[in-house]
Amino acid sequence: MSTSASALVGESGTLLRTYRLANHRFLTLAQGSVVDFASKKGAIVNAANEGCLFGGGVDGAITSAGGPNLAEDRRKLPRISSDVRCHTGDAKVTGPGDYGDLRVPFVIHAVGPNYWMYDEDGDVQTPHRLLYSAYKSALDCTVDQPIKEVAFALLSAGVFRGGQSLGRVLAIGVSAIRDWAEDNSNSSVTDIVLYAFTNREAKTLLHVCHRILLDNGGHSASGDSAATVDTSEKEEDADASTKGAADKEASAEVPQEDDDKMQASASMDDETGDSKAKEPAGAGEEVEATQEGECPDETMMNDDKEEAKQSSTTEGATPDTGKSDDAAANDDEKNS
């Protein structure tokens, strides 16, 4: 790994696992808040709304930590229409800047889809494509910037995932990151971090990454052996029914334009439900220890219902006040 994952995540985050991607890049899974990510040449990816101003959840936390400089830079993003600075499925970057308590010079604002808007029509392909695009667009923002490390809040994984399973939306995000790493050799990015907030998100993200990045032959698309790093003595074994459910959650319906790539990696074996990482062919070397604590076990998942409520208010949801983003922002300023 090019950068110490411990240094990036800091004391407040828990490192779960690191995977090799194409073009000498790494994907690290962490549990904690993306607000705590620290890198002098880094960026965090905010789960933003189309107005790119003040939302709830993780957006609210980033807004609060970023202070007036971040708020001003977000206001300066060009308007596409009256209240839109970034379309759903796209991303915009602010920085470099001195953003208050944030420990990165760049903030990328990615707009994932609100699945509730599509559930009534039974249209899943459109939001799937938009979610896939939002992750890739966020990484595209790094191409012309001196950004080496990028940390993501999970997009559309809280209240915005509607009737979709958590595993499904996470599989789309992981597939998008993997595909971007394969297709882009001209970006300076070397390390990508995905932050799970709740125990359930952490557990599901591990299942998804094992299936997409390891179990599908154990090799990256470039032909190099994929590798995983885990410093725990052994990974806990979930019971078969729990593992099978997690695998079913992680089967994603995929964007048409990347159907061949994503079908192979995002389809899960519902029969076996085996989520253990397989030994990658030819990948015998250690990379860097990336786990400072135990992965969440099944007993930690008993509070899933409570965490789901918490997740619904921490993953980029914007309260419906009946006002535009700009009007809400003006009200916030008056009240501050």
* Angle (CA) 212 218 223, round 5°: 105
Query: Is residue 101 flagged as an active site residue?
Result: no
Q: Is-contact 154 168, C-beta < 8 A? A: no
Amino acid at 175: S
Q: Which of 36, 59, 73, 247 is catalytic?
A: 59
Query: Do the beta carbons of residue 273 and residue 247 sit within 8 Å?
Result: yes
What would you report as the CA-atom Rg of the chain, rounded to the nearest whole angstrom? 19
* Per-residue b or e along 71-82, where b marks 16 or more CB atoms closer than 10 Å to that residue's CB: bebbeebeeeee
Other C-beta atoms closer than 10 Å to the C-beta of 207 total 24
Give all strands (DSSP E) within the chain, no chain letters: 14-21, 25-31, 42-47, 91-94, 106-110, 149-153, 191-196, 228-229
Residues identified as active-site: 59
